[in-house]
Amino acid sequence: MKKICLLVSCYTLSLCSSALAYTTHPFYVAADAGFFRGDFNQTYNDQTANVAQNFSGVAQQQGYTEGLAFGYSKLINQQYLLGVELAGNLATHTSTYSASDQSFTDNLQIKHYLDLSFVPGFLLNDSTAVYAKLGLSEAYIKDQLTSPAGYEAVSTEYSSSKNTLGFVGGLGIKKLITDQFAIFAEGDYRDYGSMTFNSFQTIAATYTHSSTITAYNAVLGAAYHF
């Protein structure tokens, strides 16, 4: 009987130690990698032709993302988590939109993004937590449009790069392997609203150019608490 009580006591102490890992090691650094998709809802409006020929459509950037994060997560009442995280990620590949009459081609890319998020969560058990992310996201967008402008149809590039501010929301699950090392899986959505890029010329007209931009990612990662 004494052996059983001793085993139960040791097991309980082990659970408490795991749960307290968030309290004793609230700061963490993390790295993640996974899949990324950016959606560009394109609008090109003809400004000069008598009969306007406007274009619109969706271009998708499908690639990969990888990044680093620094955060703080505190355990409240042995069950709930409150935290904040600053994360930066790179994104690969570009999206391409081509006008139906082949008058221009537009390549767009979210090159990198920076998130500052509030991260609440709760423990499912002594070593597993689910959490949400809600905050601000700043993205660096590159646009490179090629158009044969003028009567000689000389190919001209219209390039612009901009930072834009939006919001990020996501859900994740984290598993503590030790009191300091954890692995996690996470999915996020970002909305950057509408952006206006440089106007450009084709052989027949001058166009304005705007895009509504959203993005998604699904990543796996690891974190070290200290």
> For the segment 5-23, what is each residue's pLDDT rounded down to a tens digit?
443 344 333 433 443 345 4
Kindly list the domain boundaries of the chain, sorted by start residue: 2-225
pLDDT reported for residue 50: 73
Average pLDDT over residues 37-52: 89
Within 10 A of 126 (CB to CB), how many other CB atoms are there?
Answer: 16
pLDDT reported for residue 78: 85
Within 10 A of 60 (CB to CB), how many other CB atoms are there?
Answer: 14
Position 4 pLDDT exceeds 60: no
The residue with tokens 């959606």 is 39
- Long-range contacts of the stretch 163-166 (C-beta < 8 A, 24+): 163/138, 163/139, 164/138, 164/139, 164/192, 164/193, 164/195, 164/213, 165/136, 165/137, 165/138, 165/192, 166/136, 166/137, 166/138, 166/139, 166/190, 166/191, 166/192, 166/193, 166/213
pLDDT band at 119 (very low <50, low <70, confident <90, very high): very high
Span 2-225 CATH architecture: Beta Barrel (2.40)
Is 201:49 a contact under the CB 8 Å cutoff?
no
pLDDT band at 148 (very low <50, low <70, confident <90, very high): confident
pLDDT reported for residue 11: 36
Give the model confidence (pLDDT) of 55-67 as tens digits. 999 999 999 999 9
pLDDT reported for residue 149: 57
